[in-house]
Amino acid sequence: MHNTLKIYLLFPAVISPVCAHLHDEVQPDNGYHYQSPADIKPFDAIEHNEEYYGCGGYLRLGAIYTQTKSSPGLSSGALSGELGCGYQYNQHIKAHVAAFGIADLAFNTQQDIYKHPEFFNQYKDSYIVLGEAVLTLSYQDIEVHLGRQNFDSPHLDGDDLRMVANLFEAYLIDYHYSDEVYFGAGFVREASGWENGGNAADFVAIGTALGGANQGAWVNWLSFEQENLSSNAWVYVIPEHLTMYYAELAFSDQLSPDISYALGMQYDGGQEIGEARMGDINANTIGMMAAITAFNVTFTTAYNKNFGNAALASVGGGVFYTSLEDQTLDAISGQDAQSILMSLEYNADTWGAGLAAGDFSAKNKRIYHSQEINYFMHYSWQEKLAFEFMYAFIQDKTSPINTHQVRAMLTYLY
């Protein structure tokens, strides 16, 4: 393991350990969007999470409630699960298939209009989907993943904050050139899940999921790691839509056995191409993040600034340091958007809790200005059971409208 990764792992999990579709142990997914020290490890490559030995999965019980001033609240409860089975023919050929399902617990049996939509399909109903069917071929330092799969990258990621993560149909090749250099390329055709811009139960084209037309995304990435320093670069091309560029540089170190710090910088940009089916893009975003951990207490501050039109959207949680439960930089309407975040949290071996506050605004704050506060906690037991709780308060500074949201999830891995 590289020294860089060792240092990153010194920072405990910041957010609730929602199972990120891992079959052998409960590991923290980014249930809380901003990148604190626990999550600062850059996307040094496509992260694959398939299981190739026997069968397994998870069961998840979830509830969500959102209430906005002067309007009735939306609520839902659901039970979701995964059953996946893997098969390894030899060290070069492996396969994995998994089905995912969501069952409505009927919190709102009488009035469907009050049912929260983010747990279900577009009709607010239960559903089952063959979310994964992937063939993995490997030889020496080359690995190929073909088919429906779960993976994470800056602009396309699982973002496992609801009942089932985003899943993708993709055809990817990874190459470990050396211990320091890792690169790859591929084509991501479609996405399913609660952030695919359509029906969560269907696989839709990446271009459609981002608000455009029926096109997939070509992806290339390069990663370099050396001691405490990590860097990576990504290029996404969606023909007749846009090209997206992402780069990140991160540094972390230990001052003592109980004190560590991390610094990060990021750039995200995009430009329309061809028929420009998503209109004028012209996005250039920078970000900076700094965090220090002392005796299990972490303080994080971060800043993002976009120059020009709206920041780039993602199929997933997105790339920005300052993203919170509801507000993100790419959701800001208006020119030259910016966002600021501060957080304080405590993490022990099996539990953690904290709060974060963010300010999101356009250059002209009369067009867009919102503030958000998050309170969160998580608990895990024997690497099989995980609980998370999140409360978000969002204040629209341009109107008297305030929003409250509560989300709770209990996940069991088998």
Give the domain ranges of the chain. Answer: 3-413
Sorted by sequence, the CB contacts under 8 Å of residue 149 that are 6+ apart come out as: 48, 50, 96, 132, 134, 167, 168, 169, 170
CA dist 216 → 88, 249, 273, 409 (Å) = 29, 28, 14, 32
Instruction: Output the six-digit token pair for 204.
Output: 């839709």
The predicted structure's pLDDT at residue 350: 92
The predicted structure's pLDDT at residue 320: 95
The predicted structure's pLDDT at residue 46: 55
Is residue 150 within 8 Å of 50, Cβ to Cβ?
Answer: yes
pTM given for the model = 0.86
Q: Of the candidates 15, 40, 10, 39, which has an alpha carbon nearest to the alpha carbon of residue 26?
A: 15
d(CA 343, CA 300): 5
The predicted structure's pLDDT at residue 112: 77
Q: Of the candidates 209, 196, 193, 195, which has an alpha carbon nearest to the alpha carbon of residue 102?
A: 193
User: What length does the chain have?
Assistant: 414
The predicted structure's pLDDT at residue 110: 61
The predicted structure's pLDDT at residue 3: 39
The predicted structure's pLDDT at residue 2: 40
The predicted structure's pLDDT at residue 108: 66
Backbone angles phi, psi at 330, to 5 degrees: -75, -10
- 10-residue mean pLDDT series, the chain (414 residues): 34 30 35 40 53 86 90 90 93 95 80 85 92 95 94 90 93 93 95 90 94 94 92 96 96 94 96 90 94 95 93 92 94 93 94 96 95 96 92 94 94 93
The predicted structure's pLDDT at residue 27: 37
d(CA 359, CA 195): 23
Give the architecture (CATH level 2) of 3-413.
Beta Barrel (2.40)
Q: Is 70 exposed, middle or buried (0-12, 13-18, 19+ CB in 10 A)?
A: exposed
